Each structure stands twice: as structure tokens, then as C-alpha cells.
Amino acid sequence: MLVENQVALQRYNSFGIAARAKKLTRIRQTDDLTALMASEVWAQARSEAPPFVLGGGSNLVITGDIKALVLKVEIAGRRLVEETDKAWVVEGGAGENWHDFVTWTLDQGWPGLENLALIPGSVGASPVQNIGAYGVELQDRFHSLDAVDLQTGQAFTLDAAQCGFGYRDSVFKHAPSDERSFGLAGRALITRVRFLLPKPWKPVLGYMDLERKMAETGNHSPSAQQIFDWVVAIRRAKLPDPAFIGNAGSFFKNPTVTLEQCADIIARDPKVVHYPMPDGSIKLAAGWLIDACGWKGKSVGNAAVYEKQALVLVNKGGPEQPCTGGEVMTLAKAIQTSVYERFGILLEPEPVVV
């Protein structure tokens, strides 16, 4: 087990923020973690600060050097666990790249993840914030996951109910002392995730951008591969590719309001983009709210609001002059204040801030 010192993290976070990890170790298999947890390094590191688990780094804002021991998850592997009349169950190592995993499942002839194409990040991070796009959330295709308890070293498995999934939310985002008594933030390292891809495959085509593609092409019964290609094209057209422009995807969650609050906003801003939810509440498009406040293209230092999608903050300085985490957070706070002043809604950031 190798512990590297003063490791540059710029390549390991999709914003491309320059920061260092005082100590970093790569977890390539569960045994690496077992060996680490039995070592002096672990005892010493834990006495200073709880270790920090780094996945794909695509939902992360780093505001300074990380003093805690960084566990960089690089567990590889993908396989078909079982195929029944009702489903394919496929498994990915936590360190696998999410988009490559989705591509692989389709190449194998196992459809179901196509709406989630091109989401940056790793397989292991996907359940943490219950990634979602174009009408499908991870929880709709989730089977179970394996993880290791970073306090006891015990390996355990969770099913969907135990993960407590919500909109961009799970037990992995809540502290153990949280209102959810089973919060696992900082406590678990996810090693493998299994997905249940139901048979017969049914396309999910309700999202407006996909309906538009069907109308444009005249193809109203697309294959999974066709949906995958459409999703890739839609994302490329409106979201920045972190390989070229650093970003962490949507920076804020879409807020939920009551019918009365929404009616109030519509009375003042009839164009507000809103979606009724099954529980009677209304979800508002945070990108629209930010856009309406005139934020597109505005910046703080080298952190900027993306020109084509106001919900995404980008690193406009590139790898040479990257934005700092402080600039990102100053910009985010200014956006929150202006949306709050105009609409009375406090936007909640999506990424983890360290």
C-alpha cells in the first residue's frame, strides 16, 4: 500500500481546480482498504481528520489543500451478474468511468441506462447523489451496492430502500447524526454497484428534449442506441464537456415549492419553467430562475456562469489559470442572494464542498 504525499488534485476534479492532497492512497481493490485500515498510517491519519473519499471528482468544489488522507477509489471491473426472464443485473467497480460503463452495457445488448449517457463521474459516485437525466434516475435502475464501513472495516451490502434515495440525494449525503438515523456521509466507501435493467426494455421518452428529437427525426420508436445518441447530442449542445471546460454539472438542485408559492411567482413571472410533482408540489427550473436574474456569462475571477445553461458554473481560466474554489463559492453565493431577493427561493448547491 503506497501513500503519496503532496498530490496535485487538478486532474482529479472535473472543475480543474488546482489544490493538493497532503496524503493520497489509491484503492484498487477491497483488500487495499483492508490493508490500509490495519496500518499505522490509518491510525495516524484518522487521529488528525476523517479520511476523504474521492470518486470521479465530478461533483466537487475544492476550496483549499486537503489535509485529510484522500482515498482515491480506482476499483475496476464490470460484469453481468445474472440474466433472468425479467432483467439483466450488471455490476461495475466503483472506479469505472460512468459513461464508459453505460456505453459498455449497450454494446453488450443490455439496454436501460441510455438516458443517463455522458454524465461525468464514476460508477461508485452514481448512487451518492442519485444521478438523473432525461426522465430516468439512478434509483429506477438500481439493484444493490457493496461498501466498506470506514469505522469498523466491515463490508456490507445495501439494497435500494436502504440507500434512502431522493432527488439528488441518498444516505451517503447525510451525516450519521442527521434526521435520517442511517446517514453514512464520510462513513462508507462504495466498492461495487449493481444495476437492474428490466426486460422487456421500455424506452423513456417523456422529457421535452427527447420529444423534440422524435419530432425532428420522425423516429417515434427509437432503439436504446438511438436514445443514447440523442442524449449525447443534447448534452453536448447545452452542457460543457469537463475535458475542455471545467465544471461540476448542475450547480444547484431544482427547488420544490408549494402550489401557492408557484402561483405567486407565475403572477409576477408568467414564463417561469415549472413541473407539477406527483405529491402536489411544484418543481421549478433553477436554470431558468438564475437566467431570469441575468447571470449567464457573469463571473467572479475565473469562475463563470455558463453561457448556454445558467445552472452550470464553469472554470473559464482553463488548466493554465484555473478558478479557485473560493471564486466558485463566491459566485454561487451571489447567485443564491439574487435569486432569493427576486423569487424568495434559496437555491441549494448540488456539489460537495471541501
Residue among 100 and 348 whose Cβ is closer to ligand EPU: 348
Q: Which residue from 201, 291, 340, 345 is in contact with ligand EPU, where contact means CB under 6 A? A: 291
| Residue 276 to residue 128: CA distance in whole angstroms | 25
Q: Please indicate whether residue 14 is annotated as part of the active site.
A: no
207 contacts: CB under 8 Å, gap ≥ 6 = 115, 134, 135
Residue among 75 and 133 whose Cβ is closer to ligand EPU: 133
3-state percent breakdown (helix, strand, coil) of the chain, nearest 5: 30, 30, 45
Residue 130 interacts with ligand EPU (CB under 6 A): yes or no: no
Q: Which residue from 302, 309, 324, 338 is in contact with ligand EPU, where contact means CB under 6 A? A: 309
- To ligand EPU, the closest distance from the beta carbon of 230 in angstroms equals 12
189 pairs with which residues across the strands? 148
* DSSP tag of 178: S
Q: Please indicate whether residue 40 is annotated as part of the active site.
A: no
Q: Which residue from 42, 52, 88, 134 is in contact with ligand EPU, where contact means CB under 6 A? A: 134
| Residue 110 to residue 83: CA distance in whole angstroms | 10
| Residue 109 to residue 310: CA distance in whole angstroms | 36
Beta-sheet pairing, 136-137 with 60-61: unpaired
**Among 168, 187, 194, 235, which one carries the catalytic annotation?**
168
Residue among 201 and 207 whose Cβ is closer to ligand EPU: 207
**Among 58, 122, 250, 338, which one carries the catalytic annotation?**
250
| Structure-block grid coordinates of residue 287 | 436554470
Q: Please indicate whether residue 187 is annotated as part of the active site.
A: no
CA dihedral 211, 285, 122, 77 (to 10 degrees): -40
**Among 96, 114, 327, 350, which one carries the catalytic annotation?**
350
- To ligand EPU, the closest distance from the beta carbon of 123 in angstroms equals 16
Binding to ligand EPU in span 235-254, by CB under 6 A:
238, 249-250, 253-254
Q: How far is CA 151 from the centre of its chain?
A: 25
Q: Which residues are catalytic?
A: 168, 250, 350
**Which residues bind to ligand EPU, rule: CB under 6 A?**
133-134, 207, 238, 249-250, 253-254, 273, 285, 287-288, 291, 296, 309-311
